[in-house]
């Protein structure tokens, strides 16, 4: 709306706003949130998002189980989380209000589609009285708009059927919220035209609904509620707004380019990992082969087969899939071939909470195989960081000829943040050479190829089929070091078990030392891994600005640990470990370093908020 | 590429000591294969044998090619990844009835339906050998083993019927007592574009000795093996006195004198519909009845790896080769100065 500029002086400037869009699964709240986010990204805000949706594709309409929400935090400065309590809640129906009102800050703003607050919907949500008419919303700023009927009205003359028009009501909400928080209209209009190309009526309806929402803000005299968040002062560069699964997919492609080897993805669909399969399937022009296997076991098996053939074998899954892949991972450990297993963790055990986040697969990543079967573990810390984490996982797998576990989670997978695009020339190089020459002499003095001869890193040579004269056999039976021949010799097995551990631990020799953030002379060290990075960074920042001395360190490598971790832990009186599990890293730290590390656990299916961590860390400080 | 070097059996034999039980049928299959390889005009370095677990799965160790002895049941999946990544290779898969039809049954049928370029050899001895004698998914009902002291109550798979049900494009059966026939089947399977499966009746002389004697012993073969030859009437017996007719979709064994030679089914391995081949596969559910051997089905369908490669080529044609800089800018971007 052009008026935005004219009335700019009426718009209150704030540093940040947290908005939560909530509605029925069929109301299009993910799309609404996503559009608001994109417009804010292009406007130049820093931001972080948290989509939350039910596991059912269409949960019963109007029920609490069917509520789908999208939280976005926009800011004029660097932020790392989707925010604590939202300032604004958009509730498209009574169930959304019932489910999410408790998350809203006290005195916050509620924007309500009043058309949806009729008897049937109220009953489905479990309201005995209409919350718009009793004292439920006392103390909040309430903006009600008959979104459904106004959308229908706006579409009346367009030739759109009323039922179809109703579907555009999320664009009414978006138009209204965009007016209230001064978001530019253009990106959304362009998106509508692109997305619905060829469906002119849908374009017209969505545009009309958006403008009607915009106009409602003006005519209903809501100016007092208007705010804006100025662009953030971020480091210079080109930015894009990216979620973790996309960043991870692109990281795999980048690693493939850096290594000069083709990428092979074997995968079986599973929430919340499937989007990586979808994304990589779009990029066959990079030479990427994607294979939707018959099951999780075939997915990892095919990836291992591709690695044997000289490709970068990748398999993507979530916890239940990792459980199924375990035996093949043991084989990969024994074969000493590169392989990257990507676990987008979700709430467990069993089917658990497929669409909710958790980080309780660390022990499975560490120990979820029979025998002594060590695998390096790399974890991503933010949506954009998934790009770098993917490159690191591939680098370790290729250079050390080992399967690697890469841990992300549902929150990183779907959450977004602005990402300063890296300079491609600055990406880490991955230098790999296949074996091409004989490397041993047999008992009769003949030159032969031995698959288990080792280099300085204790990695074996990688001779791929098709290489003349290097024919050899490998397998899951214990083999003699060097020759690779089957060996049941007790001393050899003992040697090989220890060697397999040693060679993985040796990876740490070349890892960069960890750097402590915050106060080096603090009593408390907060140790994080995975997606807790955002909340920890924000919490530590708040505590320090409040005068509490605190330090933090975030682990990229969970196995082996960075070489200076033990020394670093010893320097602090208190070590606390926020984890979205019951203390798995905590146990590893205690076992490895004999420190009295204490877990701060959360297993509700939602990420930590910074506020929660501030409170918990303060308890330790006292 | 220079010409494929001339090789002998010795060139295809690895330096590893063969460790099957003396008298095992696997020896004759290995010999047949090592003798056949020099005739296939392929290079050892371009040949890969992948196996799962079981007695048969030791096979790759004895071939002087590339090879992987993997885990139980998964060889078709691992081989699928390799064949997709490396269509230039000859990938063979070797396994037994437990490996391929029990723990790995799912991978087998999916490999077959996809028609990926694998040559799959299923050594069927109707018993678990390596775990010392439990009944297998091809053991007959009533079989007394360590795990079935009162007799097996499981209906067995007929591997040929399973393969045809999965619409495999090449399906054949042979047995370990006839090197020439084995080699012919292996050669045909190797030359086939797509997934090819050969069931090999293989004697386990320790845990299931003589399981196929009634049909594969030299003096029994004429009467008990129904040799299928493309384009020929299906006929068997010492004097060719018996034959096979297809009646209402079912295969029936008939006396030629009774029905006349023109009534016999003329074998067509290239029939697009697998129904008749399936009917023929149903002729024998035990190892005491006349049993079809030879190529039951050999049809052309697009090979999976070729489809994979052509999609990549098409993507590169339309989008150009991958450009990472462009990919990172494929979502909306903004500049901060």
Per-residue pLDDT tens for B177-216? 999 999 999 999 999 999 999 999 999 999 999 999 999 9
Contact between B279 and B286 (Cβ < 8 Å): no
Distance from CA of B21 to the nearest CA of A (A): 18
Strands A227-228 and A12-13, sheet pairing: parallel
Contact between A15 and A75 (Cβ < 8 Å): yes
The pLDDT of residue A59 is: 82
Cα gap A422→A274, rounded to integer Å? 25
Contact between B140 and B151 (Cβ < 8 Å): no
- Residue A234 belongs to some domain of the structure: no
Same domain, A29 and A159: yes
pLDDT exceeds cutoff 70 at A4:
no
Last residue of a domain, one of A461, A484, A510: A510
Cα gap A417→A80, rounded to integer Å? 8
Contact of B3 with chain A, judged by CB distance below 8 Å, is answered with no
Helix axes A200-219, A147-155, angle to 10 degrees: 130
Query: How many domains in chain A?
Result: 4
Cα gap A622→B327, rounded to integer Å? 50
CA distances from B258 to B225, B244, B250, B289 (A): 20, 12, 18, 20
CA neighbor of A244 nearest in space, from A529, A71, A25, A50: A50
For residue A448, what are the β-bridge partners? A440
Contact between B141 and B264 (Cβ < 8 Å): no
Q: How many CA atoms lie within 13 A of A449 on its CB side?
A: 25
Other residues' Cβ atoms within 10 Å of the Cβ of residue A486: 18
DSSP calls for A472-486 = -EEESS-B-TBT--B
Same domain, A554 and A413: no
Q: Provide the 8-state DSSP code for A224.
A: G
Q: Mark out the alpha helices in B178-230 (DSSP H runs).
A: 179-191, 213-216, 218-224
Same domain, A210 and A101: yes
CB contact under 8 A, B84 and A306: yes
Cα gap B67→B182, rounded to integer Å? 21
Here the tokens at position A498 are: 């220890």
Positions of E strands within A363-469: 377-379, 403-409, 416-420, 440-441, 447-448
**Nearest CB to A308: which of B63, B82, B325?**
B82
* pLDDT, mean of residues B19-24: 96
Widest CA span in chain A:
95
Domain boundaries defined on chain B? 9-211+302-310, 227-291
pLDDT digits (tens, 9 = 90+) for A267-312: 999 999 999 999 999 999 999 999 999 999 999 999 999 999 999 9
Positions of E strands within B84-185: 90-96, 118-124, 170-175
**CATH code at B9-211+302-310:** 3.40.50.970
Same domain, A542 and A601: yes
Same domain, A447 and A408: no
B:120-159 residues touching chain A, CB 8 A cutoff = none
Both ends of chain A: CA-CA distance in Å? 52
Total residue length of chain B = 337
* pLDDT, mean of residues A146-173: 94
Cα gap B307→B11, rounded to integer Å? 34
Strands A574-579 and A403-409, sheet pairing: unpaired
CB contact under 8 A, A298 and B80: yes
Here the tokens at position A247 are: 């960043």
Burial of A382 (0-12, 13-18, 19+ CB in 10 A): buried
pLDDT digits (tens, 9 = 90+) for A505-549: 999 999 999 999 999 999 999 999 999 999 999 999 999 999 999
The pLDDT of residue A162 is: 86
pLDDT exceeds cutoff 90 at A131:
yes
Residues of B in contact with A241 (CB under 8 A): 331-332
The pLDDT of residue A264 is: 98
Q: Which long-range contacts (CB under 8 A, 24 or more apart) does A447-451 make?
A: A450/A482, A450/A483, A450/A484, A451/A484
Per-residue pLDDT band at B1 (split at 50, 70, 90): low
Cα gap A305→B67, rounded to integer Å? 11
Here the tokens at position B66 are: 């590339």
Q: Which of A473, A480, A484 would best serve as a mutation to test chain B binding (most B beta carbons within 10 A)?
A: A473
CA neighbor of B188 nearest in space, from B205, B171, B168: B171
Cα gap B95→A608, rounded to integer Å? 50
Here the tokens at position A17 are: 């706003």
The pLDDT of residue A56 is: 83
Contact of B71 with chain A, judged by CB distance below 8 Å, is answered with yes
Q: Which domain holds residue A193?
A: 3-228
The pLDDT of residue B287 is: 84
pLDDT digits (tens, 9 = 90+) for B84-128: 999 999 999 999 999 999 999 999 999 999 999 999 999 999 999
pLDDT exceeds cutoff 50 at B131:
yes
Distance from CA of A374 to the nearest CA of B (A): 18
**Residue A315's closest chain B neighbor by CA?**
B81
Contact between A232 and A76 (Cβ < 8 Å): yes
Same domain, A339 and A388: yes
pLDDT exceeds cutoff 80 at B300:
yes
Contact between A611 and A536 (Cβ < 8 Å): no
Contact of B84 with chain A, judged by CB distance below 8 Å, is answered with yes
Per-residue pLDDT band at A5 (split at 50, 70, 90): very low
Contact between B298 and B170 (Cβ < 8 Å): yes
* ipTM > 0.90 (yes/no): yes
Other residues' Cβ atoms within 10 Å of the Cβ of residue B10: 9
The pLDDT of residue A2 is: 36
CATH number of the domain enclosing A583: 3.40.50.920
Cα gap B319→A297, rounded to integer Å? 33
Residues of A in contact with B45 (CB under 8 A): 465-471
Same domain, A183 and A317: no
Here the tokens at position A391 are: 């490159």
**Residue A296's closest chain B neighbor by CA?**
B77
Cα gap A83→A79, rounded to integer Å? 9
Cα gap A358→A348, rounded to integer Å? 8
- Residue A235 belongs to some domain of the structure: no
Cα gap A265→A81, rounded to integer Å? 31
**Residue A384's closest chain B neighbor by CA?**
B328
Burial of A303 (0-12, 13-18, 19+ CB in 10 A): buried
Here the tokens at position A323 are: 């459980």
- Residue A233 belongs to some domain of the structure: no
| Residue for token pair 């005995």 | A128
Residues of B in contact with A466 (CB under 8 A): 45-46, 86, 88-89
CA distances from A193 to A155, A159, A204, B111, B330 (A): 17, 18, 9, 43, 17
Contact between A11 and A226 (Cβ < 8 Å): yes
CA distances from A263 to A243, A314, A340, A402, A453 (A): 21, 7, 11, 16, 26
The pLDDT of residue A1 is: 32
Residues of A in contact with B106 (CB under 8 A): 294-295, 298
Give the count of Cβ contacts less than 8 A between chain A and B: 207
Per-residue pLDDT band at A262 (split at 50, 70, 90): very high
**Nearest CB to B329: which of A38, A421, A464?**
A421
Contacts of A59 (CB under 8 A, 6+ apart): A25, A65, A66
Cα gap B162→B159, rounded to integer Å? 5
Here the tokens at position A384 are: 């954009």
Here the tokens at position B199 are: 């069931």
CA neighbor of A338 nearest in space, from A449, A424, A464, A245: A464
Here the tokens at position A404 are: 């690697």
CATH number of the domain enclosing A98: 3.40.920.10
B:88-127 residues touching chain A, CB 8 A cutoff = 88-89, 106-107, 110
The pLDDT of residue B6 is: 96
Last residue of a domain, one of A187, A204, A228: A228
Here the tokens at position B127 are: 């018993």
pLDDT digits (tens, 9 = 90+) for A470-498: 999 999 999 999 999 999 999 999 999 99
Comparing A64-78, A126-140, A218-232, the range with the smallest average pLDDT is A218-232
DSSP calls for B73-91 = T-HHHHHHHHHHH-TTSEE
Positions of E strands within A184-274: 227-228, 237-243, 263-267
Mean pLDDT rounded to a whole number for chain A: 95
* pLDDT, mean of residues A414-420: 96
Residues of A in contact with B107 (CB under 8 A): 294, 297-298, 301
SS3 B130: coil
**Nearest CB to A241: which of B45, B71, B331?**
B331
Same domain, A147 and A72: yes
Residues of B in contact with A295 (CB under 8 A): 106
Distance from CA of B62 to the nearest CA of A (A): 9
Here the tokens at position A490 are: 């007790």
**Nearest CB to A287: which of B60, B322, B334?**
B322
The pLDDT of residue B247 is: 97
Contact of B327 with chain A, judged by CB distance below 8 Å, is answered with yes
Q: How many CA atoms lie within 13 A of A29 on its CB side?
A: 29
CATH number of the domain enclosing A375: 3.40.50.970
């Amino acid at each position: 709306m052009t008026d935005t500029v004219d009335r700019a002086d009426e718009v209150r400037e704030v540093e940040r706003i947290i908005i939560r869009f909530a509605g029925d699964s069929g109301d299009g709240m993910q799309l609404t949130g996503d559009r608001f986010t994109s417009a804010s990204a292009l406007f130049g805000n820093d931001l972080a998002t948290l989509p939350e949706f039910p596991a059912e594709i269409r949960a019963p309409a109007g029920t609490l189980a069917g509520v789908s929400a999208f939280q976005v935090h926009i800011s004029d400065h660097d932020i790392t989380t989707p925010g604590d309590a939202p300032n604004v809640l958009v509730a498209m129906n009574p169930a959304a209000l019932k489910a999410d009102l408790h998350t809203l800050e006290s005195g916050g703003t509620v924007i309500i589609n009043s058309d949806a607050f009729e008897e049937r919907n109220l009953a489905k949500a479990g309201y005995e009285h209409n919350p718009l008419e009793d004292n439920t919303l006392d103390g909040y700023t309430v903006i009600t708009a008959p979104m459904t009927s106004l959308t229908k009205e706006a579409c009346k003359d367009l030739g759109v059927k009323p039922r179809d028009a109703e579907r555009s009501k999320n664009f009414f909400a978006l138009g209204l919220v965009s007016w209230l928080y001064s978001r530019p209209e253009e990106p959304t209009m362009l998106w509508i035209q692109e997305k619905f190309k060829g469906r002119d009526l849908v374009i017209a309806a969505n545009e009309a609904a958006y403008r009607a929402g915009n106009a409602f803000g003006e005519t209903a005299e809501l100016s007092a509620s208007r705010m804006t968040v100025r662009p953030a002062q971020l480091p210079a560069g080109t930015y894009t707004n990216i979620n973790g699964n996309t960043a991870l997919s692109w990281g795999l492609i980048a690693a493939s380019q850096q290594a000069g080897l083709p990428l092979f993805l074997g995968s079986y669909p599973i929430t919340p990992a499937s989007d990586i399969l979808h994304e990589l399937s779009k990029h066959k022009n990079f030479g990427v082969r994607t294979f939707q296997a018959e099951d999780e076991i075939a997915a990892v098996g095919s990836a291992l087969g591709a690695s044997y053939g000289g490709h970068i074998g990748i398999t993507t899954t979530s916890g239940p899939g990792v459980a199924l892949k375990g035996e093949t991972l043991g084989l990969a450990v024994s074969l000493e071939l590169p392989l990257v297993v990507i676990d987008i963790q979700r709430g467990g055990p069993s089917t658990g909470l497929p669409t909710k986040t958790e980080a309780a697969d660390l022990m499975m990543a560490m120990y979820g195989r029979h025998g002594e079967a060590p695998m390096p573990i790399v974890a991503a810390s933010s949506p954009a960081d998934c790009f770098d984490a993917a490159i690191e996982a591939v680098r370790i797998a290729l250079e050390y000829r080992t399967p690697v576990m890469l841990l992300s989670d549902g929150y990183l997978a779907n959450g977004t943040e602005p990402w300063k695009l890296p300079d491609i020339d600055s990406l880490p190089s991955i230098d790999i050479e296949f074996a091409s020459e004989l490397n041993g002499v047999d008992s009769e003095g003949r030159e032969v190829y031995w698959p288990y001869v080792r280099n300085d890193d204790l990695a074996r040579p990688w001779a791929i089929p098709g290489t003349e004269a290097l024919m050899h056999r490998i397998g899951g039976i214990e083999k003699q070091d060097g020759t690779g021949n089957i060996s049941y010799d007790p001393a050899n097995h003992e040697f090989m078990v220890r060697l397999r551990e040693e060679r993985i631990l040796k990876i740490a020799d070349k890892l960069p030392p960890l750097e402590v953030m915050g106060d080096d002379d603090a009593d408390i060290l907060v140790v994080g891994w995975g997606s807790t990075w955002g909340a920890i960074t924000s919490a530590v920042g708040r505590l320090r600005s409040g005068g509490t001395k605190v330090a933090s360190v975030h682990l990229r490598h969970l196995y082996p640990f960075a070489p200076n971790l033990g020394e670093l832990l010893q320097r602090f009186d208190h070590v606390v470990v926020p984890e979205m599990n019951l203390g798995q890293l905590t146990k590893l730290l205690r076992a490895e370093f004999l420190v009295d590390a204490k877990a701060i656990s959360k297993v509700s299916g939602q990420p930590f908020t910074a506020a929660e961590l501030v409170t918990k860390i303060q308890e330790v400080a006292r | 590429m220079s010409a494929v070097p001339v090789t002998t059996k010795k060139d295809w034999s690895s330096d590893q000591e063969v460790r099957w039980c003396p008298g095992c049928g696997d020896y004759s299959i290995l010999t047949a294969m090592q003798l056949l390889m020099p005739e296939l005009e392929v290079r050892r370095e371009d040949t890969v044998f992948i196996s799962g677990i079981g007695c048969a799965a030791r096979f790759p160790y004895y071939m002087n090619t590339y090879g992987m002895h993997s885990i139980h049941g998964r060889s078709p999946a691992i081989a699928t990844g390799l064949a997709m990544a490396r269509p230039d290779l000859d990938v063979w898969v070797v396994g037994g009835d437990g490996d391929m039809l029990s723990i790995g049954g799912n991978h087998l049928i999916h490999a077959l339906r996809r028609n990926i370029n694998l040559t799959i050899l299923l050594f069927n001895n109707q018993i678990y050998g390596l775990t010392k004698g439990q009944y297998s998914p091809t053991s007959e009902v009533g079989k007394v083993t360590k795990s079935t002291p009162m007799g097996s109550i499981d209906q067995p798979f007929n591997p040929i019927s399973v393969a045809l049900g999965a619409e495999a494009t090449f399906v054949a059966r042979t047995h370990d007592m006839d090197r020439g026939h084995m080699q012919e089947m292996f050669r045909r399977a190797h030359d086939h574009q797509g997934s090819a499966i050969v069931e090999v009746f293989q004697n386990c002389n320790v845990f299931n000795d003589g399981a196929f004697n009634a049909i594969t012993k030299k003096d029994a073969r004429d009467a008990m093996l129904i040799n299928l030859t493309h384009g020929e009437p299906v006929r068997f017996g010492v004097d060719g006195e018996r034959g096979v007719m297809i009646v209402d979709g079912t295969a029936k064994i008939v006396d030629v004198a009774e029905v006349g030679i023109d009534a016999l089914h003329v074998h067509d391995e290239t029939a697009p519909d697998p129904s008749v081949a399936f009917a023929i596969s149903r002729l024998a559910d035990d190892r005491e009845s006349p049993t079809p051997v030879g190529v039951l089905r050999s049809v052309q369908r697009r090979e999976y790896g070729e489809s994979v490669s052509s999609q990549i080529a098409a993507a590169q044609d339309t989008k150009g080769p991958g450009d990472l800089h462009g990919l990172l800018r494929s979502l909306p971007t903004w500049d901060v100065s």
